[in-house]
Amino acid sequence: MRDIVAEIRSGDKSSFKELFEDYYPILCVFASKYVKDDELCKDIAQETLLSYWEKRKSFEDIYKVKGYLYMVARNRCLNYLKREQVNQAYLDSASRESESYFEDDVIEQEMFMLVHKAIEVLPPQMRTIIHYAMDGLKNPQIALEMGIAEGTVHSLKKTAYRKLREQLQEHFYLLLFM
């Protein structure tokens, strides 16, 4: 298994780009739990990842990198809330947030990334069906959107779910925390 952290530590920009593409959407969603401005969440995610790039030589493994990314994003969000002096009650609750809530949020974001990556390796038609299903469309609507038979949608969806279960079975313990 390749060591992406070591590659980034040595200055490999393509490895950093790969990590950036994996964690940027996750950090955007994570920041949105604190800050309700989508553009600001994007800025926080980008600044957090760039901060990691600047300090990349300090990290030995992916677990420390992940912890760093989540803590920096959280701190940037809380600093923003303090600077803007928003509703004092909200600021108090955000800064006194329990560690278990923070851990649950991290687990949720990690699970999001695992499921997203598992979906992306599905064949294109199955991937499209799963995306439609996740958007709440039923089989007849999916069949209409894709111009295929409803039975085909049903069998492809069934196969896709089986493949996803196989890919995600080793991460079942994370689903228990959800």
Angle at 94 between CA 88 and CA 98, to 5 degrees: 140
Matching CATH number, 99-178, of 1.10.3720.10, 1.10.10.10, 3.40.190.10, 3.40.50.300: 1.10.10.10
- Burial class of residue 2, CB neighbours in 10 A (0-12, 13-18, 19+): exposed
Give pLDDT, residue 111: 78
Predicted local confidence at residue 165, as pLDDT: 84
Q: What is the pLDDT of residues 44-79, one digit of tens each?
A: 999 999 999 999 999 999 999 999 999 999 999 998
Q: Do the Cβ atoms of 64 and 55 come closer than 8 Å?
A: no
Q: Which one, of 90, 118, 120, 94, lies nearest residue 105 by Cα?
A: 94
User: What integer pLDDT is reported at residue 1 of this predicted model?
Assistant: 41
Instruction: Please check whether residue 70 is in contact with residue 26, taking contact to mean a CB–CB distance below 8 angstroms.
Output: no
Domain boundaries, the chain: 1-97, 99-178
CATH number of 1-97: 1.10.1740.10
> Residue 64 contacts by C-beta under 8 Å, 6 or more apart in sequence?
none
Distance CA 167, CA 175 (A): 13
Question: What does the pLDDT average to over 104-119?
Answer: 80
